[in-house]
A and B are shown apart, each in its own frame.
Chain A
Amino acid sequence: MRVPTRELPKAPTGISGLDEVTGGGLPRGRPTLVCGPAGCGKTLLAMEFLVRGVTQFSEPGVFVAFEESADDLIANVASLGFDLAQFEADGQLLIDHIKVVGGAMEETGDWDLDGLFLRLGVAIDTVGAKRVVIDTIETLFGAFSNTAVLRSELHRLFGWLKDKGVTAVVTGERGDGTLTRYGIAEYVSDCVIVLDHRVTEQTSTRRLRILKYRGSLHGTNEYPFLIGESGVSVLPPTSAGLLHSVSTQRLSTGVPRLDAMLGEGGYYEGSTVLVSGTPGTGKSTLAAQFCEATCSRGDRAMYFAFAESEAQIIRNMSSVGIDLKRWVDSGLLQFRCSRPSLLGLEAHLFGMQKFVSEFDPAVVVTDPVSDLLRIGTEADVSAMLTRQIDFLKAKGVTALLTSLNSDANQAQADLQIASLVDTWLLVKTMEGNGEHNRILYVLKSRGMAHSNQIREFLLTSQGIELADVYVGPQGVLTGSARQAQEAKERSDGTARMEDLEQRRVNLERRRESVEAQTAGLWREFEDEADIVGALLSHGSSGVEDLAGQRAEQGRLRRADADEREHTTDALQVGA
């Protein structure tokens, strides 16, 4: 990496996000121009720069107000928790309201702004200021008619501020097609920040852009910024970068079979889970189940709800056996429910980040993110969610987002955040047989050997259960069709079992008969073998005996008839 030869010294503003987009703050010891239309937040940004200087960097400040009186300023920023009067009492801040007399100042000859210089000099010396705000110096153009003198004096002023070594913020009102109405931008050449305040589709968004920053790298995009409860907050989309550490720890989804579908045990810690689906598919229930599992482990969970109230969610979830009330009571679960249209997108994002920072949960549920589309364009919502996801990832918080889709083309209906999420569960309903049933599958899950199976998704009084679906010639069977199929398979199975038993019995019988027959055959065989053996043992002697006997008998009987009798006997013995 190339090391910059000389890093411009910078004064951190302490304003959330601004130091990131400016790469560390405003140019130290130089004036910065902050310009924009009326009501864009110039004064507040400038004031916060001073206040943060006092509270965070021990740099006292001077606020030169041409427009508002000190009392007005104090009152205006009190709502942001800045106690300017206290800072003034502590000698850390000095507000000098310069009332420019209405109408043009009569000029009767040569003049200069030494009075202003002296006042400023005294103010800076009084508190030992390191930071100066001049708001809005262009007011002077309304007071003096000789603008040639005024311009040269302003030029001198900015040079003088540099000599004083103070980090200055000069505000200017936007003109027609020009950065500032009177072109003071040309005097402040080091850093120019442009603020804007746009309303699109009834939603106002404040934006900030670093127009130029001499000698420094800076973000060139327009960054949304907010004026929230604790001041200005710039939201750089890329602030989190892609540097967040990853965990291999798994967090149970609260549904054992879903854990199994995701490989070994659930979502990755710090990952982003998107549950998308058509209405009434149980997205919130999946989210609640995850909260339940998280709180059961003793971790904190935060639930941002845009569609339902806390009480409604708790009631609805108790009907499926998920008791969220006890976690709310024990402080492990926090709900933040608001209508999306209550605030602008950026304000929502800001609020969510603030709540997350305060509560420090392990799990954050946003239900449903698609409702935000009502208050912003798809691109804006995607940008906001990107920042939210980055923010949560950087904190290692596991995020579960639900998204409501109305059309069947799921992938397109899920904004552009689909590529940002790590695990994407799809729940939808299947119609058929006069009923509709929920199914769930894992569309994607990074880094997990996840199941490709479609499961039927059942909301029971004990929470979510996943059941196998039946895939047959008619397609996927769910609900009562699945039950019928189960029953059918059960009865088919019984029949098969009976058949098998019968066959077994038959076989046994057959075996017995075969064995009996075999035994009989063996007996016959053995009998015959005995006889043959006996015959063989008598062998040739028998033949000799026979011949001898015959000869003897012939001698004894001397008759042919006797000889015939003997032959018959011998045959009978052989049978």
Chain B
Amino acid sequence: MEAAGYCGADERNEFWKLRLYVAGQSPKSLQALANLKSLCEEHLADRYSIEIIDLVEYPAFAREDDIIAIPTLVRRAPAPVLRVVGDLSDTGRVLAVFNCSRHRQSDSA
């Protein structure tokens, strides 16, 4: 299958729906949110939404997205659904994943 359609999705100006799972106001959660915001501003200005789900308040969501690690960032759109864990401080890594590493292409295909 031609994986190019997924690659560089951001370049085609698609709208990104992101969901960040956090647990309360833990330092890791706050750190992740701060990192995510700056990343989005830098790379996805005006075409992203961030949904923050605090599992302390809404634990049922953990089941829905199979969340075990906190923080977890889920890209719900564009397809495919991608996820990374951690406080997003390794920005290079985050970008590599969301820019469709080869690994992810073959996975989703």
- Residues on A lying within 8 angstroms of B by beta carbon are 96, 98-103, 105-116, 118-119, 121-122, 140, 144
Known: A115-B68, A115-B69, A119-B63. A108 touches B26 (CB 8 A): no
The answer to whether B68 touches A116 (Cβ under 8 A) is: yes
B interface: dominant SS: mixed
Which residues of B are found within 8 Å of A107, using beta-carbon distances?
Answer: 84-86, 90, 93
- Name the residue on A nearest B60 (C-beta): A122
Residue of A nearest to B94 (CB): A108
CA distance A107 to B92 in the complex (A): 11
Say if the beta carbon of B88 comes within 8 Å of chain A: yes
**B63 engages A105 (CB within 8 Å):** no
Q: Across chains A and B, which 10 residue pairs bring their CB atoms closest together, nearest first?
A: A109-B86, A109-B89, A109-B87, A114-B70, A116-B68, A108-B86, A114-B23, A115-B67, A122-B59, A106-B84
* B103 close to chain A: CB less than 8 A: yes
A residues in contact with B103, CB < 8 Å: 103
Do B69 and A110 touch (CB < 8 A)?
A: no
Question: Which A residues touch B68, using CB under 8 A?
Answer: 98, 100, 113, 115-116, 119, 140
Sampled A-B contacts (30; CB under 8 Å) = A96-B63, A98-B66, A98-B68, A101-B66, A106-B97, A107-B85, A107-B86, A108-B85, A108-B97, A109-B87, A109-B89, A110-B31, A110-B86, A110-B87, A111-B71, A111-B85, A112-B69, A114-B23, A114-B70, A115-B55, A115-B72, A116-B68, A118-B56, A118-B59, A118-B62, A119-B59, A119-B63, A119-B67, A140-B68, A144-B69
List 17 extra interface pairs beyond A106-B93, A108-B97, A109-B35, CB under 8 A.
Answer: A103-B107, A107-B85, A108-B84, A108-B87, A108-B89, A108-B90, A108-B91, A109-B31, A111-B71, A112-B70, A114-B55, A115-B72, A116-B68, A116-B69, A119-B59, A122-B59, A144-B85
Taking CB atoms, residues of chain B closer than 8 Å to A116 are 68-69
Q: How far is the CA of A464 from the CA of B69 in the complex (A)?
A: 77
Q: Are B32 and A109 neighbours in the complex by a CB distance under 8 Å? A: yes
Whether B28 is near chain A, meaning CB under 8 Å from some CB there, is yes
Closest partner residue, chain A, to B70 (CB atom): A114
Residues of A within 8 A of B69 (CB): 105, 111-116, 144
- What residue of chain B has the Cβ atom nearest to residue A146's Cβ? B86
Q: How far is the CA of A118 from the CA of B89 in the complex (A)?
A: 24
Q: What residues on A are CB-neighbors of B19 within 8 Å?
A: none
In the complex, what distance in Å separates the CA atom of A332 from the CA atom of B31?
77
Q: A102-B107, A107-B86 are contacts. A113–B63 as well, Cβ < 8 Å?
A: no
A354 to B73, CA, bound (A): 54
Assembled-state Cα–Cα distance A102/B103 (Å): 11
Distance to closest chain B CB from A115 (angstroms): 4
Q: A100 — which chain B residues lie within 8 A by C-beta?
A: 66, 68
For B66, give its contact among A99, A114, A121, A140 (CB under 8 Å): A99
A112 touches B28 (CB 8 A): yes
CB distance from B86 to the nearest CB of A (A): 4
